[in-house]
Amino acid sequence: MLSPVSRRLLLLGLVLTTYLTAVGALVAAYALDMTVSWWPTAGVGVVTLLLTPRPRRPAMTLLLLAVWTAANLTLGRALVPSLLLALCNTLESLVVLLLALRWTGGRLRRLVDTWLLVLAAAAGAVVAGSGVALVYASFDLVPEGQSGLVIGSAHLASVVLLAPLAMLGGTQRSAPGRGREVALHTAVLLLVAAVAFGPVGELVPGMGLLPLPLLVWAAARFEVRTVVLQLVGLSVVVSVGTALGWGPFQLLGGGDPTTGGTGSQVYLICAALIALPLAQAMRERERALSRTAASERVFRRSFTEARVPVLLVRRREGRLWVAEANAATARLLDRPVEDLLGREVAELLTAAGPVLEPLAVGGGGEPEGAAAGWSGEMGVVGRPRTRLDGILSLLDADGDRASYSLHLIDLTEPLELQERLRAEQTYSRAVIDTASSLIVVTDEAGDVIAANPATLRLTGYTVEELVGRPLWETLVPAHQRLRFSELVAHLPSLPRSGEATVLTRDGERRSVVFSNAVHTAGPGEPVTVVFTATDVTDARESAGLVRHLLRSATTMAFVGTDLEGRITLFNPGAERLLGLPAARAEGRPLTDFLREVGADDDAAPPTLDDLLQAGGSELAPRTRDWTLLGDGRSPQRISVTSNPVTTGRGHLFAYLFVAHDVTDTRRSQEILVNALRREREVVARLRELDGAKDDFVSTVSHELRTPMSSIIGSAEMLLDGLVGELQPAQQQLVEVVERNGARLLSLADDLLLLATSDAEGRADEAQDLDLRDVLRESIASVDAALAVRDLETCWDLPEDPVPVSGDPRHLERAFTNLLTNAVKFTPDGGRVSLRLHQDEEHRQARVEVADTGLGIDPSEVEQVFERFYRSAAVQARAIQGTGLGLPIVRTIVEAHDGRVGVVSTPGEGSTFGVTLPLRRERRRTPVSAG
């Protein structure tokens, strides 16, 4: 980069050069009477404007106008044509400058910039050539052969050759070690040009082509600036040789200077158009190769040194194979890089997608679907817990040998952290949701963000009614809302804990003990406030109630002690019982006031362990009688219950003794004990009498059965005519004897059954039986009674067996009694039904006997199963019976572990239900072959 002084000197030198080259070119044109090969002053003028800073270009333009005017005046031209010719040169320079700046930015950086410079130079040459030719024609100053085309060509050659010197910038440097090659090549080029355009070139046709291969060599090897300078040197040699009449162009023109000059112009323009674009193209190629090499080095380095695991894979035969692997991949797969190369990807990684499956290839060899790229979850073979995110990207599509990059991102730790975070969040959510304490979360403005279920249950609000509203609008009483909002607005002043009042949706006030914590994830993050509160309303009320009870209990003594037995609590009841104020009792051992019951006055007082040693567990309440030695009072007998007092964690810290005077109670108890002893003696005597009664009934029943059997048998023989035919009156009397004998025999059997059941319980062996068979026998027993009645019957028995265990004879007797009663107490036109069903869930069978008969009054339902009881309705209708049928039913059913009950409505009928347990299936014991 030039300093300001150096730039000024350079511009001054260029201005001087512009003047000298303009004068020299005009002198050559007039003195030699020929067409110059190029017009150097035009190129120098463009270079001067390009190098001039933008703010000074207008002044430099005027200065160049003056310089060119002075050059023309120096050769003796008039002022007006000199000024016009200088103006043409100035316009040319401005056109080239403006187009070059607009199209290339004033720099030759690309090949296209070179062609754009040529176009700009051509535009300037057209302006200069046409303008100069017009001035020459107007003032009759046309030198021989100076047409507009010739002048334009000279200007074009000058600008194309010299302008790149200002547009290449100062960044180009020759490759190290090429200085000698450049110097040698330049010397050879100039020497060859001097020979070709010297006297020898005039003798040998085609000599002018010899410098061109050297220019091509320079364009391929050297920087563009070097090529431009060589072109300038070649231009000087060609111009001088041609001006002296040497070189091949003199041969072409037959010695005509104008033709030779024109030929040299074309030659120099062609040389520039060959060398400059080729040099620019070679430099672009070198830069592209350099960038490619740099990119490859960067890629290789970024691949090998990348911290992200990357595999370069190639597809062969529809499968992926590892071509390259970096160190990060080796660490991830826990294998050396050498062990990864050449392996199939499926041997190393697993994936849910098609990446490890054979890749589809279209007919044209181009990859389709998954072959062009894939991303998804992957795993490592042999390591099921490792989870990866794989990204397969197509690098080069070459038929079945496409190349891919496979990036692997280890998600194991993040996913495990996410799972742990989700578990912790779930656990925290569960703790918050199941917490019995109130938890409310607000933002820094006090607006509720969340509330747990305990808050909703206690306050009665819904989530919609709380969330989004300021906390104090719902849960804080009206008189405290302003103060609370001010505290929330200044969070540092908000108490971290304390006791407050919470207002429920129904307007109830609840006392809570609260604490709060301010939380933020970091600087600039939202602030949240977590309020936690415990409802202590009931505890406060209970504590107040306990204190009130202790103070108001005047007949019950409550005495609290510490772990050493010293009194710490003494209620009014204790003061009244001991006749001692609490102030005098507190601090004294409780054992000072107690003695063992029946102990002498001189006996040692008991210890605290004696008070607590009443049996039971260590922390269980204990009750024991003691003798109380009141202050100035006679001894009293009291009952003392010791209650260990523990903390919420079960830690014992005190004892509570509850005492009351039991002197009169114990005296009454002794009287009651004596009365109970006498009562037990009377009960035992009554049981003996009851047993004697049962024995008497059993004996009488047995004794009655024999004569009654004889009487009934004799009556049946008389009725059968075994002793002769009976008169009708005789037969009627015998039937009365037989019927009443049967009644007496049935009564004896009933009495015997009841007596036997009371004495021995269920004496018969239980049998496995089908309850349906028992009920069929009972139904058959009442068929004779139903035959002479007008009753509707319904017998509902299931198709499957109903297995029970019991005595079939007794069970038949019970159900026969129920059916007999149903038939007896149901008037004609009524209905009698029996239904049997089994309840598999409760493993029991239920029999229901229903009728539409007289029914039972609700007041008599509980008495119908008592012996000899007959309802008022039965007695009013003089229906015969002993009142033993239902007691027998209950006795038999209960002996079989069953239950019997009745539901009845007077005038509508009764339903008797019997429930019996189903028989359990017996497991068969396998018989051993041995």
What's the pLDDT tens digit per position in 864-877? 777 665 665 665 55
Structure tokens, 454: 């305990």
Q: What is the mean pLDDT of the chain?
A: 77
R_g of the chain, CA atoms, integer Å: 66
Which pLDDT band holds residue 615 (cuts at 50, 70, 90)? very low
**Structural contact between residues 646 and 667, judged by C-beta atoms closer than 8 angstroms:** no
Chain CA centroid to CA 764, Å: 71
CA gap 463, 450 in Å, rounded? 8
CA gap 517, 495 in Å, rounded? 10
CA distances from 505 to 459, 465, 476, 508 (A): 6, 10, 11, 7
**Structural contact between residues 190 and 233, judged by C-beta atoms closer than 8 angstroms:** yes
Beta-bridge mates of residue 519? 528
Which pLDDT band holds residue 928 (cuts at 50, 70, 90)? very low
DSSP one-letter code for 907: T
CA gap 811, 236 in Å, rounded? 148
CA gap 183, 457 in Å, rounded? 99
Chain CA centroid to CA 595, Å: 70
What confidence score (pLDDT) does residue 149 get? 76
In this structure, of 303-317, 460-474, 629-643, 728-742, the range with the lowest mean pLDDT score is 728-742
What confidence score (pLDDT) does residue 364 get? 38
Q: How many CB atoms lie within 10 A of CB 461?
A: 19
Q: Is the pLDDT of residue 133 over 70?
A: yes
Q: What is the pLDDT of residues 286-329, one digit of tens each?
A: 877 877 777 767 666 666 677 788 888 888 877 888 888 888 88
Q: What is the pLDDT of residues 178-224, one digit of tens each?
A: 788 888 888 888 888 888 887 776 666 677 788 888 888 888 888 88
Q: Is the pLDDT of residue 817 over 80?
A: yes
In this structure, of 381-390, 747-756, 900-909, the range with the lowest mean pLDDT score is 747-756
Task: Pick 165 or 721 by higher pLDDT.
Answer: 165
Share of the chain above pLDDT 90, in %: 4
What confidence score (pLDDT) does residue 863 get? 67
Structure tokens, 458: 């206690």
Contacts of 641 (CB under 8 A, 6+ apart): 621, 622, 623, 657, 658, 659
What confidence score (pLDDT) does residue 393 get? 83
Nearest to residue 259, comparing CAs of 391, 149, 375? 149
What confidence score (pLDDT) does residue 165 get? 83
Which pLDDT band holds residue 91 (cuts at 50, 70, 90)? very high
What confidence score (pLDDT) does residue 794 get? 92
Q: Is the pLDDT of residue 617 over 50?
A: no
Question: Quick one: average pLDDT of 578-591?
Answer: 80
Residue 570's H or E segment, with its range, is strand 567-570
Nearest to residue 25, comparing CAs of 533, 874, 17? 17
Q: Is the pLDDT of residue 831 over 90?
A: yes
**Structural contact between residues 657 and 640, judged by C-beta atoms closer than 8 angstroms:** yes
What confidence score (pLDDT) does residue 879 get? 61
In this structure, of 10-14, 396-400, 785-789, the range with the lowest mean pLDDT score is 396-400
Q: Is the pLDDT of residue 727 over 50?
A: yes
Burial class (CB within 10 angstroms; exposed 0-12, middle 13-18, buried 19+) of 678:
exposed
**813, 814, 816, 819: CA torsion to nearest 10:** 170
CA gap 610, 627 in Å, rounded? 13
In this structure, of 104-118, 120-134, 368-382, 438-452, the range with the lowest mean pLDDT score is 368-382
What confidence score (pLDDT) does residue 1 get? 55
CA distances from 253 to 160, 270, 609 (A): 25, 19, 148
CA gap 171, 615 in Å, rounded? 108
Question: Edge to edge, what strands does the sheet with 792-796 contain?
Answer: 792-796, 831-839, 844-851, 909-917, 899-905
Q: Is the pLDDT of residue 604 over 90?
A: no
CA distances from 642 to 95, 196, 909 (A): 120, 137, 60
Q: Is the pLDDT of residue 710 over 90?
A: no
Q: What is the pTM of this model?
A: 0.39
**Structural contact between residues 307 and 402, judged by C-beta atoms closer than 8 angstroms:** no
What confidence score (pLDDT) does residue 243 get? 72
Residue 403's H or E segment, with its range, is strand 403-410
Tell me if residue 731 falls in helix, strand or coil: helix
Beta-bridge mates of residue 510? 502
